[in-house]
Each structure stands twice: as C-alpha cells, then as structure tokens.
Amino acid sequence: DGGITQSPKYLFRKEGQNVTLSCEQNLNHDAMYWYRQDPGQGLRLIYYSQIVNDFQKGDIAEGYSVSREKKESFPLTVTSAQKNPTAFYLCASRIYRGGGAQPQHFGDGTRLSIL
Amino acid sequence: KQEVTQIPAALSVPEGENLVLNCSFTDSAIYNLQWFRQDPGKGLTSLLLIQSSQREQTSGRLNASLDKSSGRSTLYIAASQPGDSATYLCAVPISDNTDKLIFGTGTRLQVFP
C-alpha cells in the first residue's frame, strides 16, 4: 500500500545529542513537510521541500535541519540547539497537480522525549 | 496575519446526532481550506479540501461548507457514530503559498453510545 512511513514511533534524546527522524513516502508526491505538534498549540511548520535538493524554512526552523536527496525521503535532524524538543513530530507530503491545490497526507508521527 | 480558530474546543454528543464543527479565519483571501481528522497518538487524515471557488464538498456523512466573505467554514457530520470520535482540525494556506498551512487548534469530539 502507498503511504508515508515515519520512524521510529518513539525516540528519546539525551542532553546535547542530535537525533534524526525518518520520513519515507512511496506516493510519488512532489512536496514533503515537517510539523511539530504541542498540546494546545496546533501544528507548526518546521521545514518543507517542494523538489529534490531544495527546501525552505517554516515558522520554527531554529534548532532543526533537513535534507532532500531523494524524492521519497525527507529526514529531520533535531540538533542540540533545539532547547525544547519534546513534542510530537509529523511528516506530510502532497502532489502538485493542475486544477487546484491537493491535500497534504500525513504519517503516524514520532514522539520525541528528553531523557 | 492569518489566524484560524475552532470553537468549541471539545464536544460530547450521543450517537445518532447531527453535528456542526466550526472553523473561522481572519483573512478571507484564502486559496482553499482543508479539514482533517486526528485520532489519539496518530497522524492527520485528510477529510475534505474545498477550493476557494467552491462553496461545499461532500464525502459520505461529511459535508464541509465555505463562506469566504464571513471567514467561516463548517464541517457537518450526519448521524454521528462512536467511530467519529477524534479531534477535527481545519487549515488554510498562508496567502498564495499553498505549501504553508495555518492550523486551528482543533475540536475534540466524543460520540458516546
């Protein structure tokens, strides 16, 4: 089945450590996105990529980094510079097609906690 | 600056009721509006996307309407079922960049038998 796979489902980070969250899609979607979800705050955009080897900052990019070397993959690294990384991280993708915007499709998320 | 508000934050109804969820946005110049469902601990599932030129979209028991002039969208759920229990979120793009969505904080719906 086509879909978006995020791994791991749960991740723990030690102080000063970088961690990488995986996001893979086999939908042949063009764009990919990373969101952070905190209780009571809704989703906030971290980074997005419209095409391979290119990406743009979202609203809360500080302390995060991404790469888009393949169309199917958009990993997110939470660096030690991100002082409050505990959150639920969601990856999404969508296809570009004429006739209006297409919906974003989401993975099942990664919950990151600090040890 | 675009802001998206969803009221009520939580709603509890008995099975079988028809119900309406509300989404308000401050800037009426939107390109589209999307409704999502989120089950606890899970990602979002896209329910309906309404283009700016449309007034409503339907999928099964769900009907979403859009009134850009008043800055409102409603999600109507007919004959609610316990399986409809979830958080419902709406989102609109920032101006003409349809890749950047602004999300509401959601309405948490519980349908009890």
- Whether A105 contacts chain B with CB within 8 A: yes
* Contacting residues for A50 by C-beta, under 8 A, at least 6 apart: A30, A31, A56, A96, B99
pLDDT value for A101: 79
CA distances from B112 to B11, B12, B16, B88 (A): 11, 7, 9, 17
Which strands, in side-by-side order, build the sheet including A64-66? Answer: A4-7, A19-25, A76-78, A64-66
Nearest CB to B103; choose among A42, A100, A108: A42
B37 contacts B47 by C-beta, under 8 angstroms: yes
The per-residue pLDDT for B90 is 97
Output phi, psi for A102, to 5 deg. -100, 150
Structure tokens at B32: 């589209």
**Quick check: helix, strand or coil at residue A100?**
coil
- Contacting residues of B for A90, CB less than 8 Å apart: 43-44
B43-62: average pLDDT? 94
Nearest to A89 by CA among A77, A102, A98, A73: A77
Interface test with A, best of B6, B33, B101 (most A CBs within 10 A): B101
Residues of chain B in contact with residue A100, where contact means CB-CB under 8 angstroms, are 32, 51
CB contact under 8 A, A109 and B99: no
CB contact (8 A) between residue B98 and residue A106: no
Mean residue pLDDT of chain B comes to 94
Cβ-Cβ pairs closer than 8 A, A with B, add up to 59
Model pLDDT, residue A11: 94
State the pLDDT confidence band at A51, using cuts at 50, 70 and 90: very high
A50 contact B CB<8A: yes
State whether residue A98 is helix, strand or coil. coil
Select the residue of B4, B51, B103 nearest A100 (Cβ to Cβ). Answer: B51
Distance of CA A84 to the CA centre of its chain: 16
Q: Does the pLDDT of residue A74 top 80, yes or no?
A: yes
Residue A99 has pLDDT above 90, yes or no: no
Asked if the model's pLDDT at residue A50 lies above 70, the reply is yes
Statement: residue A98 has pLDDT above 70:
no
Residues B53-67 have a mean pLDDT of 95
pLDDT beyond 80 at A33: yes
Residues of A in contact with B104 (CB under 8 A): 42
* Closest chain A residue by Cα to residue B40: A108
Q: Residue B81: pLDDT above 70?
A: yes
The residue ranges of DSSP E strands in chain B, in sequence order, are 4-7, 10-14, 19-25, 32-38, 44-51, 56-59, 62-67, 72-77, 86-94, 97-103, 107-112
> Is the pLDDT at A75 greater than 70, yes or no?
yes
Least confident of A93-107, B16-30, B31-45: A93-107
Looking at chain A, the whole-number percentage of residues with pLDDT higher than 90 is 77
Stretch A32-52: mean pLDDT, rounded? Answer: 93
